């Protein structure tokens, strides 16, 4: 199987890129954050156990995440894009043991902290279809309404300015070490460009692999 990992700080554009790449490559997407937020919204046992961590911007424990990934891979074996996984060295090692290191392409979206704060402070999400908007760079046609499904857009709970800051700190401590871990196998991309430019750059680099 072939898998693409999207790595980068919160707000780097992983979710935006994942949707575009999946459409063009006909890959499935595992959006870790969406799976967790859905469980919280539906108040499942999993949702109740992870709610406080996710809403405060702390990581969920590796074993819970790996169980979700293994479940997903049971029914999606052809080609997968991982948005938001792995986020720790432990998760990265486990992924390799599940699918094999040779099957992995790792895209690293580089973005400064200043841009992270700016993007997440102006993000809006559709809770129904998952479409991602930005009031500055990609606003909806009608204020507060999803272009695709007509649902009212929301601000994610963890997009509060203080929580954005702690998510960035968690990223530096827990996830940034993966850049070194994947050294030599990383496709580095400057994420401080338009959505189209980032997408075409990544697509071109993945095709050369
Ligand atoms: P998750 O949902 O994965 O959040 P995140 O990694 O913080 O990433 P974001 O979704 O905030 O940003 P993004 O990079 O997808 O950017 P987006 O495309 O939206 O995780 C949430 C929580 O779940 C975690 O804090 C943790 O608690 C838990 N969790 C998840 N995975 C876990 C794991 N593996 N282990 C443990 N816990 C886990 O774009 C951001 C904004 O910028 C949008 O408004 C967008 O429109 C805009 N934008 C995007 N690209 C561009 C561009 N090129 N130019 C201009 N604007 C752009």
From 9, 33, 116, 137, the mutation candidate for ligand 1 (largest count of ligand atoms within 8 A of CB) is 33
pLDDT tier at 1 (50, 70, 90 boundaries)? low
| Per-residue model confidence as pLDDT tens digits over 72-95 | 999 987 899 999 999 999 999 999
What is the CA(12)–ligand 1 centre distance, in A? 7
Burial 45-75 (b: 16+ CB within 10 A, else e): ebbeebbeebeebbbbebebbbebbeebbee
Annotation marks residue 14 as catalytic: yes
Partners of residue 105 on adjacent β-strands: 4
With 0.85 as the threshold, say if the pTM is over it: yes
Higher pLDDT pick, 55 / 25: 55
| pLDDT tops 90 at residue 120 | yes
| pLDDT tops 80 at residue 209 | no
**Distance between CA atoms of residues 78 and 145, nearest Å:** 34
Annotation marks residue 167 as catalytic: yes
pLDDT tier at 145 (50, 70, 90 boundaries)? very high
């Amino acid at each position: 199987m072939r898998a693409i990992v999207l790595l980068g700080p919160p707000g780097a554009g992983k979710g935006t890129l994942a949707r575009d790449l999946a459409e063009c490559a006909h890959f499935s997407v595992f959006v870790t954050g969406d799976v967790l937020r859905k469980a919280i919204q539906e108040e499942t046992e999993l949702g109740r156990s992870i709610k406080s961590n996710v809403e405060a911007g702390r990581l969920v424990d590796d074993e819970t995440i790996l169980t979700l990934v293994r479940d997903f891979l049971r029914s999606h074996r052809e080609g997968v894009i991982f948005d938001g996984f792995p986020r720790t060295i432990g998760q990265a090692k486990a992924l390799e043991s599940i699918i094999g290191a040779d099957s992995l392409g790792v895209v690293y979206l580089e973005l400064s902290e200043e841009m992270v704060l700016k993007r997440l402070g102006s993000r809006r999400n559709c809770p129904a279809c998952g479409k991602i908007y930005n009031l500055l760079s990609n606003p909806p046609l009608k204020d507060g309404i999803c272009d695709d499904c007509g649902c009212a857009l929301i601000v994610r709970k963890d997009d509060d300015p203080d929580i954005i800051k702690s998510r960035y700190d968690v990223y530096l401590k827990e996830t940034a070490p993966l850049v070194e871990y994947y050294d030599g196998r990383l496709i580095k991309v400057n994420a401080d460009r338009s959505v189209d430019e980032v997408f075409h750059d990544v697509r071109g680099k993945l095709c050369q692999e």
